[in-house]
A and B are shown apart, each in its own frame.
Chain A
Amino acid sequence: MARRSMPKQQPYSRTKPRPLHRVLPIRHHASSIPFLLLPAVCLVLSGCVRPEPPADLVIINGTEPESLDPATIVGIPEMRLTKALFEGLVRLDPTNAQPIPALAERWDVSPDGKVYTFHLRTNATWSTGEPITSADVAYSWLRALSPGTAGDYAGQLFYIKNAEAYYTGKIKDPAQVGIHALDAHTVRVELNDPLAFFLDLCTFPTLAVVPHQTIEKHDYRWLSVRPLPCSGAYELVAWRLNDKVRLRKNPHYWDAAHTQSDIIDILPTGSPNTALNLYETGVADIVWDKELVPSELLDVLTKRPDFHTWDYLGTYFNRFNVTRGPLTNELVRKAFALATDRERITRKITRGGEKPAFHFVPDGTANYQPPPGLPFDPEQGRRLLAQAGFPGGKSFPHLQYSFPSAASGAARLQGKIAVELQQMWRDGLGIEVELRQIERKVFYAAQSRLDYDISGSSWIGDYNDANTFLDLFTSNSGNNRTGWRNRRYDELIHQANRQLDLKRRAELFRQAETVLVAEEAPVAPIYFYAGFNYFDPRKITGIYQNILDEHPMQYIRKVKTQPISRIQYSVFSIQSRRAANN
């Protein structure tokens, strides 16, 4: 407390006050870093911020796209974006997600369903003005198929004759693959089997048409080239990591007359709260990723008129590791499935309009009627468990339920679901399951190695057909990850995909799914996903709800009800804009 006397020495300070720069310890050669930094800061700041014309439409699209190369992308946000830039022969109708003509204006299918002849539009051009020809199509498909491209989705092309052999190197000559450019505007595709969903596949980004010369010249950095030749309704103006992707209407697009918005900004946002804040303050017009709904606010949000939810082609389910302990017995697996109260999960946890799932292929999948599956019946579950030798769960070995960890967003629900499942199985079967939350990448690696007992999983359909779900559990599928192999199942799927008759095909799939969810139960479906987005339907037109969550950007338009200048951030413009809106 000796220092308490200090303020008493104030009289000294009454002597003449001196200018600060004379007093501060700045010697001409000893200026310390912080003071030098200030002007530098101003310089840097002015360099960081670039003024740009405002966009006509701002969409929050999920996390930063990993890539915009149609041949290598795997994520849904990437696919939405890429579809605006690179079009395929066929695209999806924005209202019902059915295949409609795109770069190909029509096509013929041979009577056996194995040969497709596509007739390209003569007015199809790149955004740089050159015509798009059948050679571009053949190049793009062969590139997607080439091992050098290292695309995860190369398998989408394996339905084409000799494609798999070409990929694995058994065939070296690309001319032997069933993709042929007959003349400048005709492409002939030969398939291994008549494929009911081949046109749906043609709408998939992997099969989009990409610019040959640019790619050959710039290798994996080809997307940085400006102007980038694009085949879709939009061209790429800017792609800044974690900042924005800016699209501008492609004036050379064959259907440019119907493109609704000129400039679209796509904001990558990983945080649901930030996304909601940006939307609420009018910076973003549309938020359309189901991960971007703050789960804490679901109850409030679902009641709002600008929050939209509908059935979506995705399933959340449990995988059982059929190679481990009691889970090798299908009676035990079925007992777990029977004791799972799906309704409780959709009502209590997901709460966003998801539907309980008793079968694996979602309701509403094209040309398909799924089987009933196993109901919620803990009584029956206990009986099956007793049959398997564990009456009342007695002497049941120690099992773990694994699920990936998630920092935020809808993915965080997995932990809550795990807790709920643990409770259900404890109450219903008398089995105590230990929960094991694992870091995402470690989780998926462990799942592939079959290093788990039961694990939470999800699957989103690539195209509107039962095959995109049922194909998963064939013996050779890279996504099986249950250790379950069933020859009858494989045979049924194989048979179904060679069927021309859609009814017969649906029946075969239905038999296969019965094996999957009711007889053998290597998986237990929990709920079907719901699609989510939020936008004000009075201001935004051209978004239609469909089972694929497919909303092509070229149809979307912001209706300008009153002359609102887009937000320029000064203190006053926000307030005035708010006033204008009110």
Chain B
Amino acid sequence: MNDLDPPDKGYDMNGRRSRYDNPSLIDRLAAAYVAGTLQGPARRRLERIMQRQPALVLAVNEWTERLGPLHVALPPHAVSAGLWPRIAASIGMAPPSSTITSATVARAGEDTSWWRRLFAPIPAAALAMGLALGSVAPALWQTYTAAQRGMELPDSYVGVLSTADGKPGLIISSLRQGRVVDVKQVTAVEVPEGQTLYLWRIDKAGAIAAVGALPKGKFTHLTLGEPAEKLFFTAVELAVSIEPSGTTPVVPSQRFVYRGLCGKLWR
């Protein structure tokens, strides 16, 4: 085994292994991963370990940023005209075409579920449309009837989060200057005893920040320590992970179980 090969066994209940408490080793592993000297099974083991080692993820982020200019320094290499149609066809997105027009892109979503198609235009508008057409939460009807009356909803943050397998999962909303987040659980996920759903915000650079633990229940409320405007203004996405109850994690310890756009419902 390479001296930098990360072992993938022998973790404690928190998914931690004493070896990864060593910042020097974490840094070396992250450097080797990003620089390309960690290959094959060793690299894949590291990628699995990253799923539960926030310190390793942070180190990889730093090395990715540090060495990123080396990649960008390569002169761009033109791709053939046939590549995009091939990719689109391979994922069932669109008929092969060398010029993808907006109409083609609009058709591309036809094989996806109806609620996903609603995301395709401008996100905030899509969220509003999704809320108006669906019938999965009280807010939907309110949105629709308000629109019918020519009224406007108060400025709000709205998030529609999907589950890991792409089903509508959570609907989250808060008044722009409010301190309460309403949460409607559309598709439940299993939360083990002693753990809780935990809400995160994600900015455009992918940086994740904690928002708070979500109370159990199909329709619940989370009280914010700061106005929603301050917490969510830079957020482009919201996500939810499962964390140990009573903790205040800095980064998610597990994969997200819900994730979706954070929309700003105002002009």
Q: Tell me, yes or no, whether A binds B.
A: no
Binding site for B on A (CB under 8 A): none
Binding site for A on B (CB under 8 A): none
